Structure 1
Amino acid sequence: MLYKGSCHCGKVAFEIEGELDGVIRCNCSICARKAALLWAVPHDKLTLIAWGDDLGRYTFGDAKIAHRFCRSCGLHPFAEDVDEGAERSAYININCIDDVDPSTLSIFDFDGRSA
């Protein structure tokens, strides 16, 4: 299924191809503060439609994940593995996907604080 999403102002927009059957709730210091529910997909299933100079990048700790955000509205629509390769993933904040009801999805709790 094809899903579409964006930040609040729409300057960062994307599409994702896949089956959304569950999400990850990570308790690391940034995900917990954002209250993000993440859908892990192969990176090649994420297509950026709009971004320009509005797509910011934030890393911390061992800098393995680039947390992406809109420089205009501040929303964090997704994160991605920094390392290139076949196993690279994108982590979509499902709260930024159009027409998705998070209450209908199973949630997997991930201990990002200890990872």
Structure 2
Amino acid sequence: MLGDELARVIHRKRRGSRFTQAELGDKIGTSGSYISGLENGKSSPRISELEDMAACFRTTAFEMIQEAIRTGERFVAVTETTGDGLDAIAADLSLEHRRLAREFLLFLRERERVDGVVPD
């Protein structure tokens, strides 16, 4: 599932940035044990936490999610008319992860609106 792959991405990025779990926790306002739970797939990060971690890793939350999708070999073709690809991904998620994904997509839509990005 995507949550497991995201946990691996967080772990890889943290190790690559040479942070301990406690150091990363301090940087995003949580504890090292919370980071451990994220990396072990026992909990899921809030969107704000994912963004804070991404900033520490000099990337974006969106890029981390894309990496998790690629790592899990989830190549999805989203059609312009139906969006079936996103529906297929959502079907595999728990209710909590669906809620988080929806929240993140709404956030991205709002950010594009504020930044003046025009959808294709």
Scaled by the length of structure 1, the TM-score of the pair is 0.28
Please identify the structure whose Cα radius of gyration is greater. 2
Scaled by the length of structure 2, the TM-score of the pair is 0.27
| Structure 1 or 2: more strand by fraction | 1
| Structure 1 or 2: more helix by fraction | 2
